[in-house]
Amino acid sequence: MPIRQLAPDVAAKIAAGEVVERPASVVKELIENSIDAGATQIRVDLMNGGLQLIRVTDNGSGIPVDELQLALARHATSKVTQIDDLERIHSLGFRGEALASIAAVAEVTLLSRYRGAEQGAQVSAVNGQVSEVSAAASPEGTTLTVRNLFSAVPARLKFLKSRNTEVSHCLHMLEQYALAYPEIRFSVFSEGRQIFSTAGDGQLSSVLIEIYGLQVAEQMVPLSSLDGKDNDPERPVVSGYISLPTSYKSTRQHMSFFVNRRWVLSRMLSYAVEEAYHSLLLTGRHPIAVVNIVVDPTQIDVNVHPAKTEIRFLKERRVFAAVQRAERRSVLDEAEITR
Ligand code: ADP
Ligand code: MG
């Protein structure tokens, strides 16, 4: 075949593949947008595991009417203007691609009322074609509805699992954000039934109880790297919770890591936690952990993965050591006492 420039809709669908792998990826992008918009309440509705419908409603800043169409365009973002901005990024989003990618593989309706605006407006996109903006009633904030995900992308559809599996992927994702943002009230519904909610009281321990139950949560101790002696601004600050050896899981899925409040997947961090712990747990048993790491944004590269779940640390060893130090201080001390 000769080389040809792809038609824009084909190129868009291919590019979307990187960002939107399954319903949970859509949920992730939408709630990140709600968090970036300063929402304190986020509601998620799923139908048929998210394939029929994903709706995220927030009480964040909303979007001005004249920017609604742009929100769905590729490489359109309100979060960065220059490449250097990535070095001190404080928002979860920065690629300006999520909504355009989702709109390339689903039917999207964006309804929003900008803070202080008299009325709301909406815009929709089907197969990447964006409609005109029309006035619509809306509370302050944004509601993003995604219907018939992947119905035009059979190649993706056939890789998806049962409805229950997709729901549990979505739920796992939402639990991560609930852990990272205890001050936000999350509520999640599947087929109209509430399956998860958090109080939004700002206490990580309340979220732990919601997710793991009181019994497990009571077996978790706070992590802290702060000893007051150290004021090196480059030193990573670690907080969170970790289970005592009396409580454990059979998979590593229950260790959650957040770097500057971004949920990240990291073998290095999982290894740091397990290694510091290893003499305390039998093989095949893994701790439950929520590890919040705060580092100077110039010390990380967030732009290494389209789904933004991986990051690079400039000084990985320091982060590794800081996590282990925090963990040893809380778990090992406690284990000594109770032994
Ligand atoms: P990014 O988050 O990388 O900027 P997105 O495609 O996810 O890109 O969103 C595009 C833009 O739409 C955002 O920069 C933001 O200005 C706006 N936006 C999207 N979702 C919301 C929301 N829930 N509340 C307010 N603004 C939003
Ligand atoms: Mg985004």
Residue 337 has pLDDT above 70, yes or no: no
CA gap 176, 308 in Å, rounded: 14
Give pLDDT tens digits for 89-134. 889 998 888 999 999 999 999 999 999 999 999 999 997 789 999 9
Least confident stretch, 4-8, 54-58, 196-200, 265-269 = 4-8
Averaged pLDDT, 245-253: 88
The reported pLDDT for the residue numbered 58 is 98
Residue 305 has pLDDT above 90, yes or no: no
- Smallest CA separation from ligand 1 atom 19, residue: 33
Residue 64 has pLDDT above 90, yes or no: yes
Give pLDDT tens digits for 22-39. 999 999 999 999 999 999
Mean predicted lDDT score pLDDT of the chain: 91
What's the 124 CA to ligand 1 centre distance in angstroms?
15
Q: Which atom of ligand 1 is nearest to the CA of 32?
A: 2
* Contact indicator for 72, 63 with CB cutoff of 8 Å: no
Tell me the best of 43, 77, 105, 145 to mutate to test the pocket of ligand 1, counting ligand atoms within 8 Å of each CB and taking the most: 77
The reported pLDDT for the residue numbered 338 is 54
Stronger pLDDT, 311 or 38, i.e. the higher one: 38
Residue 310 has pLDDT above 90, yes or no: no
Pair of tokens at residue 267? 């073998």
